[in-house]
């Protein structure tokens, strides 16, 4: 996630309305739980963010080219998402827990209504038992949605996120042993991230090789796109990916 403060949009609204949402019953221990849940979500949640791609919009959206591609000079990688479906990304297949979801884009004044809808679904979980424990569990489950909710001003992103919520798993004693394999230093701080090897896993009928999942590369609409397309084609060819299509984006860069 490029900005973990995104979580606060939903998190803070839930905290401000927690008593109302959880039945107007003060919950002893809720503040202590929150003191652990917020850093677990903000500092120990690892996110891979993607945008839904539709054949009806083959050039992508101008707002995305402007925001994420240096005024249209970038490239868009279009992948086959078959291997990324929830039925494929199971702990048995990839050795750690991944939660995949589309992002909900919610205005602050719609947060409580959205939370109530989520609470109705959470309340049906069979593991919820006694009233106090149930309410505390519901609060944690609700807060855990915060990395999947953003302000509706970002709705054009049509984002899909894959989350490894290591902090919450550890809080519930369900953490696994998947090791951090990389760390980088950026702006004076260490940033840790997990790497999933782009390879074939024949034992699990799971193929995530780049030559399998990469469908095409779309070249951004800025000037000089033909030259950039040629360079990309050469690079693909040098890595035995010459079969991957390279297309020029024709969105007018206004």
List, in order, residues 6 or more apart from 67 with CB less than 8 Å away.
none
In order, the DSSP letters of the chain are: ---GGGGHHHHHHHHHTHHHHTTS---TTHHHHHHHHHHHHHHSEEEEEEE---TT-TT--HHHHHHHTTTTTSEEEEE-GGGGSTTT--HHHHSS--EEEEPEE--GGGHHHHHHHHHHHHTT-TT--SHHHHHHHHHHHHHTTGGGEE-GGGGGG-EEEEEEEHHHHHHTT----PPP-EEEEETTEEEEE-----SEEGGGTEE--HHHHEEEEEE-SSTTHHHHHHHHHHHHHHTT-TTSEEEE------
Please report, for the chain, the start and end positions of each structural domain, with discontinuous segments joined by +. 4-248
Query: Would you give per-residue pLDDT tens digits along the chain (254 residues)?
Result: 556 678 888 888 877 777 677 665 556 666 777 778 888 888 888 888 888 888 888 888 888 888 888 888 989 999 988 877 766 767 666 666 777 788 999 988 888 888 888 777 766 666 555 565 666 677 777 888 888 888 888 888 888 888 888 877 777 666 665 566 677 776 777 777 777 778 887 776 778 899 999 999 999 999 999 999 999 999 999 999 999 999 999 888 76
What distance in Å separates the CA atoms of residue 73 and residue 66, rounded to the nearest whole number?
9
The pTM of the full predicted model, rounded to 2 decimals, is 0.75
* Nearest residue to 2 via CA among 175, 249, 187, 214: 187
């Amino acid at each position: 996630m490029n900005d973990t403060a995104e979580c606060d949009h939903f998190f803070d609204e839930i905290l401000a309305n927690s008593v109302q949402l959880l039945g107007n019953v003060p919950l002893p221990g809720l503040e202590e739980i929150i003191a652990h849940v917020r850093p677990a979500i903000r500092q120990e949640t690892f996110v891979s963010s993607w945008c839904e791609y539709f054949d009806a919009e083959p050039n992508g959206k101008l707002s995305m080219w402007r925001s994420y591609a240096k005024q249209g000079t970038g490239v868009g990688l279009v992948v086959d998402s078959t291997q990324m479906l929830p039925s494929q990304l199971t702990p048995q297949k990839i050795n750690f827990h991944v939660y995949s979801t589309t992002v909900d884009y919610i205005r602050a004044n719609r947060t409580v209504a959205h939370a109530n809808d989520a609470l109705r679904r959470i309340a049906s979980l069979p593991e919820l038992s006694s009233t106090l424990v149930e309410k505390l569990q519901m609060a944690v489950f609700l807060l855990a949605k915060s990395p999947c909710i953003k302000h509706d001003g970002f709705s054009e992103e049509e984002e899909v996120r894959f989350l490894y919520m290591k902090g919450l798993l550890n809080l519930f004693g369900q953490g696994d042993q998947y090791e951090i394999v990389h760390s980088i230093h950026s702006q004076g701080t260490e940033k840790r991230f997990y790497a999933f090897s782009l390879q074939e896993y024949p034992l699990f009928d799971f193929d995530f090789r780049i030559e399998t999942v990469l469908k095409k590369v779309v070249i951004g609409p800025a000037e000089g796109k033909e030259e950039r397309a040629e360079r990309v084609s050469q690079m693909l060819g040098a890595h035995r990916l010459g079969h991957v299509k390279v297309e020029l984006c024709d969105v007018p860069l206004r």
